[in-house]
Amino acid sequence: MATNKKRKADPRQSAIMTMLVIAVLAAVCVYTVLVGLGKQHKGSAKNIELGLDLAGGVSITYEVTDKNPSDKDIEDTIYRLQKRVEGYSTESEVYKEGSNRITVEIPGVTDANTILEELGKPGDLSFKLEDGTEVLTGANIKSAEAGTQTENGMKNYVVQLSMDATGAEAFATATAANINKPIYIYYNGEVVSAPTVKSAITNGECVIENMESYEKAEELATTIRIGALPLTLKEMRSQVVGAKLGQNAIQSSLRAGLIGLIVIFLFMTIIYRFPGFLAGVALFGYAVLDLLAINGFNATMTFPGIAGVLLSIGMAVDANVIIFTRIKEEISSGKSVLNAIYAGYDKALSAILDGNITTLIAAAVLWVKGSGTVKGFAQTLAIGIILSMFTALFLTKKLMLAFYEFGVQDEKFYGRAKPFKVMNYIKASKFCIAASLVVIIIGFVMMPINKGKFGEPLNYDLEFSGGTAVTMTLDQELTNELDAQICQTVKEAVNVKTVQSQKVLNSNQLVVKTNELTVAERETLEKALKDTYKISDYQTQEITASVSAEMKNDAIVAVVVATIFMLIYIAIRFKDVKFGASAVIALLHDVFVVFTVYSVVRLSVGNTFIACMLTILGYSINATIIIFDRIRENMKNNQMMKEGLDFVVNSSISQTLTRTVNSSLTSFITVFILYLIGPASIKEFTLTLMCGLVCGAYSSVCITGPFWYMMSKTSQKNKAKKIEEARETRKKSKKKKKK
């Protein structure tokens, strides 16, 4: 009798199927990003929603001044504001922020000052009879639309109105009593139309006929539609951005991203050979998936969001660096290439998950506590982190195993780990700690110096200080003399005494800050500056003091909350509070060193400062976890433990040093390229990130491990002391019993 034996799948056939599936999916994804699907080109990179800082336009946040406004009043106000802004742009958005604030965003507009002046007005709209009796107010109008009717072949331009129940009843009574008489429509005290009543209107809908043109009909409809707002609004913050700057930023950022990808591709191929080449291929796939995900989640792309994408490219390489370093080590230990590949991925998994989860915690806190562009940064960073784990743990692995079956099996394609020399990092840490303390002290010493020289200990951005800021790009070299002239022009144009200016690094872009200005004053200032100087791009931002105070508090809370959650996670994962405590010290070190950069160089301290700090914390703790993971692993090695705990720590740092340097270098490369050729508006942001990357790598190697060792030795001494005390107590107890 024949028996059915289960046939094993041919590895070569499985590899072919893997390559075909990946190739087809890659082609579909690339086509979607470049062209899009369907008539609406869904998924195309061109359809990614751009923030106002890239698309240009107006953003304004109002505070409701009425006490205890009802939800219905706020909803009605949002609805009427939405109707107002639809006349400026169909892509406008109005939404509630907090409990008593409403934010309006209008992309792509040019007449920004006019919009700011008109948008928040109460709009005193009313319908009155000849004797001045009021029939309706704007609150009674549900809709007002322009239209065209054809009668006897002639076009009749009209405005179609609908009213609420109260308005319909009042209008029915008024029209029945005033046939062949006009009803006057007043807006802000002026008559905008006076249609004649032809018959009683009882259904709550009427038509104003015989308008001069469709444009006139649309103008009247808009005036009626924006009507009287149910609530009184006060401008809290606003921003006006030119579209030209955003387009230039997108182009320069794309160039920076492409160059960064190419440089990292070459770097990985040279250092890690064939696996590095595959990682480079997967990295391009990651970039495509990232664009699709950003589009799919409707994430808004902003200046910091671009930085988040490019930073996540560097971080995407980090997982591959960990894996490939492990594969080299496994080959050096005598394993076959195939077993080394599987072992490398298995041993790297925990470190990759722990490191990326801590960074995701920082991104989550930024999303919850951040606002505006910071949310955009948090979105793109979080999406990038998740996709980076997918491409490293799944895509690169599948490609590597497939190519292995196609014959790429010689260990020369993968390399061996070079013997490492165990350095005494614990001993050197004393000098490193001393040097770090000097740098940190300098940062605090500069604060009173800055206070005396500039009036503020730090260069607070408008988000933290309140007031009005104008950012302008000049078509001429920005000298100190020209800087002073511009400040004087600002003082004279709007009659202010205090004006601060700051030149954006390596550009002809100048930021001028002064106290809060009215819309009329901002319009006057813009005219004065544009009439006097050659300005290619101009944008303004207004934030009240109360909002800036809230932003400061939110920023502090964000840093504290993120740090606490990171440490809780580390303590749970490593089951040792000392790991968490030493990580805290390293994080505080990184924060204070970067703080020194802000204090000495006078970089702007605002929401992007907080985004930068939390990113640095996440990245720094990522590098720290790699070392902790290796310490935890080596502590299970009896041979190493015989050499002492100091040997374990020094060996762990030495073993992971190549990974720390290479990973930090790849992230640094992408940010550095963005700093060199990216938009001027994020040069400070990228400069700080570069400082943070270097500082994070330094603290992970020179401070975190040694601190954990010091605390462990102290804990051991205390434990030994308690044991000895317990012994002495037992001895004394026995002596008493004998007596």
- SS in 3 state form for 209-272? EEECCHHHHHHHHHHHHHCCCCCCEEEEEEEEECHHHHHHHHHHHHHHHHHHHHHHHHHHHHHH
329-364: pLDDT as tens digits: 899 888 999 999 999 999 888 878 887 888 788 788
How many Å apart are CA 709 and CA 718, to the nearest integer? 14
Three-class DSSP category at 467:
strand
Cα dihedral: 440, 441, 442, 448 (round 10): 120
Look-up: residue for tokens 């007031």? 467
For residue 247, the model assigns a pLDDT of: 64
For residue 126, pLDDT over 70 is answered with: yes
φ/ψ of residue 89, rounded to 5: -160, 135
Contact (CB, 8 A) for 237 and 547: yes
Q: Order of strands, edge to edge, in the sheet holding 499-503?
A: 93-97, 101-107, 57-64, 233-241, 535-543, 467-474, 509-514, 499-503
**What does the mean pLDDT of the chain come to?**
81
Q: Which of 503-512, 516-525, 707-716 has the lowest mean pLDDT?
A: 503-512
**Better-scored residue on pLDDT, 686 or 444:** 444
| Residue extents of the structural domains in the chain | 59-236, 242-416+423-440+549-718, 467-543
Q: Which residues pair with 542 in a beta bridge?
A: 238, 468
122: pLDDT confidence band, cut at 50, 70 and 90?
low
Q: Enter the CATH code of domain 467-543.
A: 3.30.70.100
Amino acid making up residue 183: I
Pairing of strands 535-543, 233-241: antiparallel
- CA-based nearest residue to 314, from 394, 260, 256: 260
**Residues in the chain, overall count:** 739
Q: How far is CA 425 from the centre of its chain?
A: 36
Classify 334 in phi/psi space as left (phi over 0), alpha (psi -120 to 50) or beta: left
**Better-scored residue on pLDDT, 120 or 593:** 593
Amino acid making up residue 177: A
How many Å apart are CA 233 and CA 213, to the nearest integer? 33
Three-class DSSP category at 652:
helix
121: pLDDT confidence band, cut at 50, 70 and 90?
low
Burial bucket for residue 310 (CB in 10 Å: 0-12, 13-18, 19+): buried
366-376: pLDDT as tens digits: 787 766 566 77
Pairing of strands 604-605, 184-187: unpaired
Q: Which of 16-25, 235-244, 411-420 has the lowest mean pLDDT?
A: 235-244
Contact (CB, 8 A) for 460 and 613: no
Contact (CB, 8 A) for 680 and 509: yes
For residue 438, the model assigns a pLDDT of: 94
The radius of gyration computed from the CA coordinates of the chain, to the nearest angstrom, equals 33
5: pLDDT confidence band, cut at 50, 70 and 90?
very low
2: pLDDT confidence band, cut at 50, 70 and 90?
very low
Cα dihedral: 454, 459, 465, 470 (round 10): 90
Q: What is residue 51's DSSP assignment? A: P
**What is 389-401 written as a DSSP string?**
HHIIIIIHHHHHH
Pairing of strands 205-211, 467-474: unpaired
Pairing of strands 93-97, 57-64: unpaired
Q: What is the mean pLDDT of residues 240-265?
A: 74
Q: What is the mean pLDDT of residues 134-139?
A: 85
Look-up: residue for tokens 């003091």? 545
40-96: pLDDT as tens digits: 778 887 787 777 767 777 888 888 888 888 787 788 788 778 877 776 776 777 888
Q: The tokens of 517 are what?
A: 């200005």
Q: How far is CA 516 from the centre of its chain?
A: 27
Contact (CB, 8 A) for 307 and 682: yes
Q: What angle do CA 612, 617, 623 make, to 5 degrees?
A: 125
Find which of 99-103, 298-302, 476-480, 482-486 is predicted with most confidence, using mean pLDDT.
Answer: 482-486
Contact (CB, 8 A) for 158 and 207: yes
% of the chain surpassing 90 pLDDT: 10
Amino acid making up residue 82: Q
For residue 662, the model assigns a pLDDT of: 83
Q: Which residues pair with 149 in a beta bridge?
A: 156
**For residue 366, how many other CB atoms are within 10 A of its CB?**
29
For residue 680, pLDDT over 50 is answered with: yes
% of the chain surpassing 70 pLDDT: 89
Q: How far is CA 445 from the centre of its chain?
A: 31
For residue 637, the model assigns a pLDDT of: 86
Look-up: residue for tokens 């991104």? 363
**For residue 575, how many other CB atoms are within 10 A of its CB?**
9
Contact (CB, 8 A) for 601 and 683: no
Give Cα separations from 30 to 26, 35, 50, 384, 385 (angstroms): 6, 8, 21, 17, 20
Q: What is residue 453's DSSP assignment? A: H
3: pLDDT confidence band, cut at 50, 70 and 90?
very low
How many Å apart are CA 224 and CA 60, to the nearest integer? 22
Look-up: residue for tokens 């030209």? 244
Contact (CB, 8 A) for 141 and 161: yes
32-44: pLDDT as tens digits: 888 888 777 788 8
Q: What is the mean pLDDT of residues 385-391?
A: 86
On the question of a common fold for 59-236 and 467-543, the answer reads yes
**Better-scored residue on pLDDT, 78 or 299:** 78
Amino acid making up residue 540: T
For residue 665, pLDDT over 90 is answered with: no
103-116: pLDDT as tens digits: 888 877 766 666 77
Classify 240 in phi/psi space as left (phi over 0), alpha (psi -120 to 50) or beta: beta
For residue 159, the model assigns a pLDDT of: 92
For residue 179, the model assigns a pLDDT of: 92
591-630: pLDDT as tens digits: 888 889 888 888 877 766 776 776 777 677 777 888 888 8
Q: Which CATH class is domain 59-236?
A: alpha beta
Q: How far is CA 127 from the centre of its chain?
A: 47
Q: The tokens of 685 are what?
A: 């942001």
Entry pTM = 0.67
301-316: pLDDT as tens digits: 776 677 677 667 767 7
Contact (CB, 8 A) for 452 and 723: no
For residue 512, pLDDT over 70 is answered with: yes
**What is 418-443 written as a DSSP string?**
PP-----HHHHHHHHHHHHHHHHHHH
265: pLDDT confidence band, cut at 50, 70 and 90?
confident
For residue 6, the model assigns a pLDDT of: 47
Contact (CB, 8 A) for 256 and 666: no
